[in-house]
Structure 1
Amino acid sequence: MSTSLIGRKLGKYQIVELIGHGGMATVYKAYQSDVDRYVAVKVLTPHPGHQAGFVDRFRQEARTIARLQHPHILPLYDYGDEDGILFLVTPYIDGGSLADKMRRGAIPPEETLKLLEQIASALDQAHRQGIIHRDIKPDNVLLNREGFALLADFGIAKLMEGSGMTTTGGLIGTPAYIAPEQAQNAAVDGRADIYSLGVVVYEMLAGQQPYRSETPVQVILKHLTEAPPRLSSVKADLPAALDTVLERALAKEAADRYQTAGIFVDDFHRALKGEPLLPNVATTKTRPDLSSVSLPVNPTVRLSSTNAPSDTQNPLTTTGNTTIITNAGPSPWILIGGFALIAALLVLVLLVLINQQNQGDNVQATAVIASNTETGGAATTVPRTAVAAANVSAPDGTARFSTQAILGDTIRIEMENLQPSGAENVYAVWMENTSSGELLRLPDMTVDAFGDGAIIFTSDESLITHYNRLFITREQGDTDTPSENVLYAGETLPEVMNALREILVSSPDGLAVAESSGGSAGGGEPGSENYEEPEAAGSSLLDGALTEAEVAMRHAGLAAGSTTIGAAQTHAEHTINILQGTTEDFNGNGRGENPGRGVGTIFFIDAIDERLTSAAAIASPEVQSQIELIRVCVANARGWINDVIAAESTFFTAADIAEVSQEMGESTMLAAAIIEGIDLNGNGTVEPFEGECGLAQIRDFGVSVANISLFAQAE
């Protein structure tokens, strides 16, 4: 595509400048006058092979991308189809890309960790919604002027797979970063993105990609057959444990990799701190020997006539020439891989769309790998009893919880690819408590012309602590009893629901709020033979932690505002005892005082941690990833508590206020952070990152633990 769109208006966007283009799209800078801002407009490359339903798929994929809301995912403002021109509209980012940053050399490990945390949190958010990126690479990680990462191009690779730019079964990826299963045209899930992210991290640290060769084809072959070079062989000054971390991230088998990006981050951080790595619980499979596989060294290369500008400081830009690689001779390609798929392959055509970055032997290409073998499209069958286990196929729908008046009282369900329903044959949506059998019928789901269905329902009770299973049936009219023909279902384990109840709503270990009245679970009236004293109702574990932390914060402030060292020591004793739940006489006046509830913030966060550990031990990887968000906040709070205690302990040996003036200010700030967290990266949001979230954020992230993915069931 040339610059012919400059000066033209697409919808309400005035095209003003060409930014760049590649094999899949051309990106323009445009002006949106109604809100007085510049945007980036990505125009999909027209192709004669576009199939009849491509426009519908484009709209559906655009709606899916638009639902992705995360601080480190580039948002989709708008999309459109004007005179056959399909386009996507995103913010205009002028801070460059990670690729631009990496051209200046290797990135220090601490800065790499910061960027990895941001990219990984974006990926985990997308994966929880069943969305796979498929083309993670430095060019698709944009950096704003403050240096914070924004992951771009979600959905583009998937859209192109069915666009006619590939043959049936084809896929799009970038050879330098492509996962082995993606290179073999096999089914992929979020772990393919984790592999690609591992390649990016290796390159950030080493200053070079792990697999390099003369041609993209040979690079792909190395992804399939060669173990990644040890990072220590390139950068001997980095912690040796990073070798193990990257080996796991770049494992050939998806089952041997980190199962979530968040776990990858956790191990990376442990490696930097010199702490033991997490146990590798993945199941290692025996792999076929692919050492003898070879590919043509000198394929015919046809270069397109359109050159792209080198500017990459904008969203969604793909720079370089598009290169298509075909076999030079009449003989078929030597087959890749040693799997059963090889026996069925008659021809393997490898088409590569290369984004040349003028980086010497770095291969920046987008490959289109095609096969004449069609894979079945049947929905994955998930038995009723196995829904809570790990499911690596993309879900058919998602249910997300939020809060209106009561914690977790609102549910939003979104489904795709449904058949339209009639007035007398409806999609009935049910919630169930699998322990008690209690059922709740939600409003029926309506389906639009594109097969998308959605409902939003708000209850007068907490849904996340009352129900743990969601399922959809076809019903003839109104009924209180679901039919046995369950079409879609998903659930969390009862143990997870119970852990959420104790952490967020009510726990026997919480601060006592009232005594239960009337009979007990064992039956009987007070004074009767079989009467059992009812267990005292308690507030949630989180409420207990917050109550004690708020009192401690006030006393830390009083200590900081003291004008004499004696007064500061008195309030420091109060602060430390409240946090620890103790009555120690720190200032030596003969009285150990604790003006709090006497339980201690530490007691409650230990209890929260214990519930999370128990739930995570039996939960699916998807739920474990959500639980990890809470654990990060708990770990942050614990660290800040220790810092406050350390700072205020210095008061007891000081002769005057001047000696501890710095510690006074630090302890006040840290005591507040225990509750509210710290916006460490300055993006206006306290996120579930190390050093950011505190106790107050646990409610928000805790609700998301109950989110449910829905899968098609056996008929």
Structure 2
Amino acid sequence: MNAGGQEKRVIDGRFELLGRLGAGGMGMVWRARDLALHREVALKEVRPPDPALLAADPAAARTLRERVLREARALARIDHPGVVTIHHIVDAAEIAHPWIVMELVQGQSLQERLAVGLLTPGEAAALGRGVLGALRAAHAAGIHHRDVKPANVLLRPDGRPVLTDFGIAALQGTTGLTATGELIGSPEYIAPERIRGDEGRTASDLWSLGMLLYVSVEGAHPLRRTTPLATLAAVLDEEIPRPVRSGPLGPVVMALLDRNPDARPEAAELDRLLAAIPEKPGFGPAAPDTVAAPLPPTLVTSPPPAYGYPPT
């Protein structure tokens, strides 16, 4: 019992829930304390967007659960500083939904960072390389993120990006819609081929990365409209205005936003293009056995919040 007489909730006899961090289409995220290892973690209860529908279809519920666990186990095998670390899975017959135990990333999201001010082309290029490294590690493990956007990129205190929320993206169906027609994820960051039902391309994540870079430097999304359906239509067909603030990053961004996925630069070429753009300190992993450069003044915020998976 706590001082207020309320019993604290403990998951699996080990993880004490301390408070909510956020909620999204596929679950609730909590800040929690690992009572065995005496450290704070992020705990995500992975639940479907329409529990009533799955309750009426036990086979679909089992498939969903198995997919959650398979993706979590695959992510747990990825050892990359730009991918959020999964520590543990809680899954038992008496628990309604699986829980995923993750590292608690101390820092702010890119979305919060952009609310303070835009990135320079060099800062965005370095950020892009960090996110690209995380995507390449995931792709090598057979995982496509499918929801790369500023809210799903966390920035450690030294500025290095961490890509989160693979679970929401991995649980999407082949059309990106639930059985009730509800869109999972953010329409403005979905690649056009995915809207048309062409799944399974690593290039789709690179489109989303290109849109993230566009927004980070230009300060506005070129295809966001007043409704999700209007946004999807714009992603499919409307002309993308050329960046005006992106300098040498502009041609790279526009190459990523080619509606033909086969025409987009592949990951290795993209990394080379981003590396050629002059950087400023503050983003990207430090070189081995070195200390990461401090954040430039424009990137300093205090105090930074802590997150595991951000709300989506």
Taking the aligned partners of 2:265 and 2:221, their CA distance within structure 1 comes to 20
State the number of aligned residues.
271
Q: Say yes or no: does 1:246 pair with 2:239.
A: no
Compared CA separation, residues 6 and 145, structure 1 to 2 (3 A)? farther
- Could you tell me which amino acid in structure 2 is paired with residue 18 of structure 1? R
Taking the aligned partners of 2:154 and 2:114, their CA distance within structure 1 comes to 12
How big is the shift at 1:6?
8.3
Taking the aligned partners of 2:143 and 2:27, their CA distance within structure 1 comes to 21
- What is the TM-score of this pair, normalised by structure 1? 0.36
Percentage of pairs with the same residue: 31
Q: Say yes or no: does 1:53 pair with 2:63.
A: yes
Taking the aligned partners of 2:7 and 2:111, their CA distance within structure 1 comes to 26
Gaps of 5+ in 2: 1-5, 55-59, 280-303
- Could you tell me which amino acid in structure 2 is paired with residue 49 of structure 1? L
Compared CA separation, residues 312 and 209, structure 1 to 2 (3 A)? farther
Taking the aligned partners of 2:183 and 2:135, their CA distance within structure 1 comes to 20
Compared CA separation, residues 102 and 42, structure 1 to 2 (3 A)? same
Q: Say yes or no: does 1:124 pair with 2:136.
A: yes
Q: Say yes or no: does 1:106 pair with 2:118.
A: yes
Structure 2 partner of 1:296: none
Structure 1 partner of 2:289: none
| Secondary structure of the structure 2 residue equivalent to 1:38 | strand
How big is the shift at 1:271?
5.2
Taking the aligned partners of 1:223 and 1:17, their CA distance within structure 2 comes to 37
Structure 1 partner of 2:89: 79
| Secondary structure of the structure 1 residue equivalent to 2:78 | coil
Compared CA separation, residues 155 and 20, structure 1 to 2 (3 A)? closer
Taking the aligned partners of 2:11 and 2:32, their CA distance within structure 1 comes to 9
The answer to whether the 8 A contact 2:41-2:308 is kept is: no
Structure 1 partner of 2:45: 43
The answer to whether the 8 A contact 2:149-2:209 is kept is: yes
Structure 2 partner of 1:265: 271
Compared CA separation, residues 114 and 243, structure 1 to 2 (3 A)? closer
How big is the shift at 1:67?
1.2
Q: Say yes or no: does 1:69 pair with 2:71.
A: no
| Larger Rg belongs to | 1
| Secondary structure of the structure 2 residue equivalent to 1:231 | coil
- Could you tell me which amino acid in structure 1 is paired with residue 149 of structure 2? K
- Could you tell me which amino acid in structure 2 is paired with residue 61 of structure 1? E
Structure 2 partner of 1:205: 217
RMSD: 2.6
| Secondary structure of the structure 1 residue equivalent to 2:41 | strand
- Could you tell me which amino acid in structure 2 is paired with residue 80 of structure 1? V
Structure 2 partner of 1:522: none
Alignment of 1:162-311 (within 5 A): 166-167=178-179, 172-232=184-244, 235=245, 238-239=246-247, 241-260=248-267, 262-270=268-276
Structure 1 partner of 2:297: none
Taking the aligned partners of 2:7 and 2:156, their CA distance within structure 1 comes to 25
Compared CA separation, residues 152 and 60, structure 1 to 2 (3 A)? same
Taking the aligned partners of 2:25 and 2:237, their CA distance within structure 1 comes to 28
**Highest relative contact order (Cα 8 Å, sep 6+), 1 or 2?**
2
Match of 2:309 among 307, 316, 329: 316
- Residue deviations 1:179-205, cap 9 Å, x none? 001122222311000000000001111
| Secondary structure of the structure 1 residue equivalent to 2:226 | coil
Give every structure 1 segment of 4 or more consecutive aligned residues whose post-TM-superposition deviation is greater than 4 Å. Answer: 168-171
Alignment of 1:518-597 (within 5 A): none
- Residue deviations 1:8-28, cap 9 Å, x none? 111111111111112221110
Alignment of 1:491-506 (within 5 A): none
Compared CA separation, residues 186 and 170, structure 1 to 2 (3 A)? farther
The answer to whether the 8 A contact 1:49-1:165 is kept is: no
- Residue deviations 1:51-70, cap 9 Å, x none? 13322222222211111111
Gaps of 5+ in 1: 274-310, 319-354, 356-715
Q: Say yes or no: does 1:10 pair with 2:11.
A: yes
Taking the aligned partners of 2:105 and 2:276, their CA distance within structure 1 comes to 33
- What is the TM-score of this pair, normalised by structure 2? 0.79
The answer to whether the 8 A contact 1:6-1:16 is kept is: no
Compared CA separation, residues 59 and 263, structure 1 to 2 (3 A)? same
- Residue deviations 1:623-664, cap 9 Å, x none? xxxxxxxxxxxxxxxxxxxxxxxxxxxxxxxxxxxxxxxxxx
| Secondary structure of the structure 2 residue equivalent to 1:161 | coil
The answer to whether the 8 A contact 2:65-2:97 is kept is: no
Taking the aligned partners of 2:310 and 2:7, their CA distance within structure 1 comes to 17
